[in-house]
Amino acid sequence: EPEVTQTPSHQVTQMGQEVILRCVPISNHLYFYWYRQILGQKVEFLVSFYNNEISEKSEIFDDQFSVERPDGSNFTLKIRSTKLEDSAMYFCASSYTEVDTQYFGPGTRLTVL
């Protein structure tokens, strides 16, 4: 069964460093999403992406964040200058249409020291 994959599973970085989180969505899906979950808190929407552009973003998704689909398979989330409060689990998801079920990846745990 096709699945969403994410790498790395765990990333440790120093405050102020740039990180890139990678996702490979399900191959025929057209809509891509990033969510994050701070430890002990609920999952929060960051951004959605369709047709090579951002379709919606939350107030969390400020200028420090960017997304890209650099080729036909990868979908990346870049955090330019990480802060301590960026420590969280980051989930990528994809769906075939905007109204279909979203399939989630296993997550990347980001730890900012």
Partner 1 sequence: KNEVEQSPQNLTAQEGEFITINCSYSVGISALHWLQQHPGGGIVSLFMLSSGKKKHGRLIATINIQEKHSSLHITASHPRDSAVYICAVRRGSNYKLTFGKGTLLTVNP
Residues that bind partner 1 (CB under 8 A): 31, 33, 35, 37, 41-45, 48, 50, 55-56, 58, 89, 91, 98-107, 109
Toward partner 1, which CB reaches closer, 18 or 68?
Answer: 68
CB of 23 to partner 1, least distance (A): 13
Strand partners, 109: 10, 89
Toward partner 1, which CB reaches closer, 44 or 76?
Answer: 44
Toward partner 1, which CB reaches closer, 14 or 41?
Answer: 41
> Tell me, what DSSP letter sits at residue 86?
G
Residues with Cβ within 8 Å of residue 17, at least 6 apart in sequence: 81, 82
If we measure between CA atoms, which residue out of 92, 112, 104, 109 comes closest to residue 9? 109
> Tell me, what DSSP letter sits at residue 71?
S
**CA 76 to CA 24: how far, in whole Å?**
9
Toward partner 1, which CB reaches closer, 81 or 97?
Answer: 97
CB of 111 to partner 1, least distance (A): 13
